[in-house]
Chain A
């Protein structure tokens, strides 16, 4: 468990990790200058799955952009669509019925658990443990089934509408979600016993992959990456949106700054999401899911609007510059993994390559969301 090693100038070679590599979980390429097993310098190369969603946001009308947002992050898509509908509602001044906001919060949290579960499985698989992935996928399947029944899709949801939802949840959704909560709590204990204490697992993560708080700040890292560096920051708490101020939940924070801290943050977050879902189901009010008065054509007044939401990966922001027409003038997407990944080049200098790849796994990358 040594810290970063300072390398004497000597013979180095270049190693390409990716763009097609199992450890990068997508089309990401890192050009590494190597001294033996140690990284001297790394340069991340992006753009292999760049689709210019921001331009599509400009040349389509507002409702036409709705499906695009779930194509950013296919593991936690609802968080991104939530941010999108919120910024349009803020700009156009659309009131959202309370029931719709509660259902949004419940489904976003379900999606967050699904995203963390997949990350958990893939991350442990990166480190050589295959079995946890099987457990995680099975549990995630329950969530996907629940969400599929109400949204109609399993990954790329287009469930939220400006002002509300596409359709209301039924009793099956409520009972299936209620049944899922105790099951997931039991599973989380199992994961903890299976993985967290494992000596091989800990030796790969404990004290390795240090991302200090100051580095987080300079690069704008958010979400579990910054919470693993002792920063108590969660958009749901700091800048409450939707109905999150109604819920009683904690922000898990660990101060070790290493890969293990980021692992622990996500594992604890699943329990907090379960708490939110539980309270959401208890408090779920009756009523409409779409507002009575809603403009037929969405035309936000001229202006520059910003909305941040806490997705599974961190703070996702949308800047909407409107010129008063039915298309956005500028549609900027601030994706959390983009900022989280930008610190990788600096953080991995002097590390062993397998430690750096473990650290990359702990960042929870989804490449289409970086490239947009």
Chain B
């Protein structure tokens, strides 16, 4: 891993003022009704096993600061998508960033928002390419990207009022 990757990691870690040990596993095995629980923070992942190196989870309020760090480090936006964690009553937005000169370094930034009022700030001002990805995520999951200049359906019909990738979607 190059020096830049180390400094990006450090900058992302600095976003979390009082570091708590990052927990990845469910607290107990019998916690059936809840899915995965994980505290905010920076995790290092094995690229061979997962396909990415750095896994960051944060609150929507810190998203823009994290995205600006990866932008400054020269990462390109690979994709944005969502995951519906219906058992936790949460929607997750997942951002993938990668490097053109990377030494196997892909950064995943995730943030969760309540399912009833899904709202996440837009990053389209930092990465204009996020415009389409956010519109698509809004189509499929109904996540509102605050400050998006043109949040209308992209892939779904222009009058679509449904979100097909929500787990309780009935066609």
Contact = CB atoms under 8 A, between A and B. Distances in A.
Question: Most chain-B CB neighbours within 10 Å: which of A217, A220, A330?
Answer: A220
A371 B156 CA distance: 9
B12 interface: no
A302 B106 contact: no
Size class of the B contact interface (CB-based, 8 Å): 35 or more
Contacts of B8: none
Interface string B35-71: 1100000000000111110000000000000000000
Contact of A218 (B104, B106, B127): B127
A90 B47 CA distance: 10
A54 B49 CA distance: 22
B171 to A, nearest CB: 9
B50 A315 contact: no
Contact of B129 (A58, A220, A239, A330): A220
B155 A50 contact: yes
B78 A315 contact: yes
Contact of B96 (A54, A226, A319): A319
B127 A317 contact: no
Given A218-B77, A319-B94, A329-B83, A306 B165 contact: no
B77 A306 contact: no
A130 interface: no
A239 B102 contact: yes
Nearest to A332: B81
A87 B128 contact: no
A342 B132 contact: yes
Interface in B66-108: 74-79, 81, 83-84, 94, 96, 98, 100-102, 104, 106, 108
A218 B81 contact: no
A219 B165 CA distance: 24
A238 B102 contact: yes
A306 B132 CA distance: 21
B118 interface: no
Nearest to B87: A323
Interface string A260-277: 000000000000000000
Contacts of A221: 76
A217 B100 CA distance: 8
B77 A321 contact: no
A47 B96 contact: no
A330 B83 contact: yes
A28 to B, nearest CB: 12
B156 A47 contact: yes
A232 interface: yes
A66 interface: no
B145 interface: no
B51 A321 contact: no
A346 interface: yes
Contact of A220 (B48, B79, B108): B79
A219 B127 CA distance: 7
Contacts of B98: 308, 315
Interface of A: 46-47, 50, 52, 54-55, 58, 87, 90, 216-222, 226, 231-233, 238-239, 302-308, 315, 317, 319, 321, 323, 329-330, 332, 334, 338-339, 342-343, 346, 371-372
19 contacts: A52-B164, A90-B51, A217-B74, A218-B77, A218-B127, A220-B77, A226-B100, A231-B100, A233-B101, A239-B102, A303-B50, A305-B50, A305-B51, A306-B96, A317-B96, A329-B83, A334-B96, A343-B129, A372-B155
Q: Which 7 pairs from chain A and chain B are nearest by CB? A: A219-B129, A306-B51, A334-B79, A233-B100, A220-B77, A47-B155, A332-B81
Interface of B: 35-36, 48-52, 74-79, 81, 83-84, 94, 96, 98, 100-102, 104, 106, 108, 127-129, 131-132, 140, 153-157, 164-165
